Amino acid sequence: MNMKKFIAGKAFPMICAAFITVIIAGCGDDSSNSSPTSTTVPEQVTPTDPSTPTDSTTNPTTDPATNPTTDPATNPTDPVTNPETPTDTATTPTDPVTNPPADTTTTNPSTPTDPTMTAAGFYRNPAAIGLAVSPDTNGFYDVGEIYKAAPADAKIVFVLRHAERESGLGKESPLTEVGLQQALDVGAKLKSDESFYYGATDFLRTQTTAAKIAEGRGETTEVVTMEEINGGYFLTVPSDSLDAMVSKRGGSFKYVAMWAYEQPFPTLLVNLGLPGYFYDLMERGDQFVNEVVLANLPYWKRVNVLITHDLLTEPLAVYASNRTVDLKTYESYRWINYVAGITVVVTADGKVAVLPTRGVERGFLNTRDMVK
């Protein structure tokens, strides 16, 4: 009886009080309604807090199996699926392993890293195609030496400036006596039994030069008029427009050479738009070889002579030499000589070489001595 009275009188109220205390404590741990009040309860943090526990069994907010916000396949902030907003320093775009920095050694196509080849893969060294010829001290190859050294199954295209002409800029300006002899001498260097193809612009001086080269070879032939080798090939505007802008500021020779050798134009001419008058030298040079020479080779003969003007042969020679020949009119007063230009040689296996070429003793002349 004493035990029953003890339980009913004292133990029972104590048990009830403990039970009520447990219920109240459980209500106080609801993180959605209140913050923790006891140091024994873990502090609540947001999913982006770096102090968030990483144990997936106790903190499901970081468990990729239960929280899709950290799943690389579905989380737009994951650097794998959205590299623009990386949060993982191991996969950020600055990581040299997963995202190496841009290659700063890459150069413009018009300035290939291999100076012995053009951007289109044309050789500048004749030895690369098995041609045993050497340039003179100015970097030009002789037309006769190229012709004799080329294999019998190789195709050759000479692109040359006309011979010396009389003064005057019109289409009917004839060759001088010196010019007539220059053309005959070039023909003598190319003498053989095979027939050549001859093309020229519609100017008297180019047509006569081609005819006289054929005569020097002992050949009588028709000279085909070719519009595609006119002097304005490297210009984006008519040559008259270039002349009108620079005729009183040093002349077109000076500024064509400055463009070819990548020299800066005077500020005034830049403001007037002169840089836009020219194509890119190296790209346009490759284009000339491709679309004018190689595209027509199936319709020409094994050896071909094309006679044009200095506004075409000057930049072609600079292009073929990778700017190593000196035709820097603005500095040395040198300009492409008469019956000089380039030679394109194509081997039987398809290799192509482009070589600065001269038909007379030198590949350049002094502009102060030129016929105006």
Which CATH fold would you assign to the domain 126-369?
Answer: Rossmann fold (3.40.50)
By DSSP bridging, strand 352-358 and strand 340-346 are antiparallel
236-263 burial code (b ≥16 CB/10 A, e <16): eeebeebeebbeeeeebbbbbbbbbbee
The alpha carbons of the chain give a radius of gyration, in whole angstroms, of 41
Chain segment 204-215, per-residue pLDDT in tens: 999 999 999 999
SS3 165: strand
The model scores a pTM over 0.85: no
In the prediction, which pLDDT does 167 show? 87
The answer to whether 159 and 294 have CB atoms below 8 angstroms apart is no
**How far apart are the C-alpha atoms of 161 and 337, rounded to whole Å?**
7
175: DSSP letter: B
**How far apart are the C-alpha atoms of 85 and 47, rounded to whole Å?**
17
Low-confidence residues in the chain, pLDDT < 70: 1-113, 169, 370-372
Q: How far is CA 291 from CA 16, 197, 284, 295, 297, in A?
A: 103, 18, 10, 5, 10
Domain residue spans of the chain? 126-369
Chain segment 319-366, per-residue pLDDT in tens: 999 999 999 999 999 999 999 999 999 999 999 999 999 999 999 999
**How far apart are the C-alpha atoms of 256 and 262, rounded to whole Å?**
10
**How far apart are the C-alpha atoms of 335 and 325, rounded to whole Å?**
10
127: DSSP letter: G
In the prediction, which pLDDT does 170 show? 85
Element (H, E) at 177: helix 177-189
